[in-house]
Amino acid sequence: MVIVDRDLCTGCGTCIPYCSVKAISMGDSFAQIDSRKCTDCYVCVRNKVCRVEAISKGPLETFYEQYRHLLSDPTETTAATGVPGRGTEEAKTNDVSGRVRSGEIGFAIDMGRPGMGVRMSDVEKVARAVTAAGLVLEPGHVSPLGKVLADLGTGEMQPGARDLFVLSVIIEGKCPEARAKGVLQALQQVSGEIESVFSLGLIMRPDREGDFSGLKILDELGIPRPHRGKVNIGLGRPLAEP
């Protein structure tokens, strides 16, 4: 967690608006940081907002502290994936890697946002709901979330990770098209049981007629079709496609 040197702090309050999750507040005469809200994003340190340099990086002594920092600081790169900014490519390389094949639909459930954040216990609620509906989660070497799950098959979180508060994290997985409707229904239900927000990305391949069956499922459930998307026009060779 970020540290405030009380001997140096003048109590000016300049640092307070720089914290996107409102973890900094003013004590009697110095700034103080709420350890349950701080995500270790280091915005307040990197931008040198304190004129007397009273704010500094604290030690990240445990795996879970390091994990929280890696998810929240976009300047860090996750060693397992080699990707900066939450450590995942979110299936964007699918046409090369073949992570989502024809007949399957990939899900990227982006939980939390700067300015809000998300408690990992809420991430577990969503992960449990979608795995019960048939979503197969990505392992830790592909998606950082897998590193703190006790069971990929059920979405159960490691006990030490449940209380972590991070800026955002992505639940990534895939399922056969036939199970996608159930996964979407599970998301609709669990959305009212969490204290944060999420956005949903769907990864699909077109059928022979150039249509996307996943969009028809959205229509059936009354979910508005996405108003933006990313399209790979076939420049990559799908290594895993038959």
**Domain edges within the chain:** 1-59, 82-221
**Amino acid 91: pLDDT:** 63
CB of 26 closer than 8 Å to CB of 11: yes
pLDDT of residue 25: 94
Name the pTM for this structure: 0.88
* Predicted pLDDT at 33: 93
Stretches in the chain below the pLDDT threshold 70: 90-96, 208, 210, 230-242
Superfamily for the 82-221 domain: BMC (bacterial microcompartment) domain (3.30.70.1710)
Q: What is the pLDDT of residue 1?
A: 80
Going from the C-alpha of 224 to that of each of 1, 20, 113, 126, 220, the distances in angstroms are 40, 29, 21, 20, 10
**pLDDT recorded at residue 28:** 84
82-221 matches 1-59 in CATH topology: yes
Q: Measure the CA–CA gap between 238 and 93, rounded to whole angstroms.
A: 9
Residue 22: predicted pLDDT? 92
CATH T-level fold of 1-59: Alpha-Beta Plaits (3.30.70)
Question: In this predicted structure, what is the pLDDT of residue 94?
Answer: 63
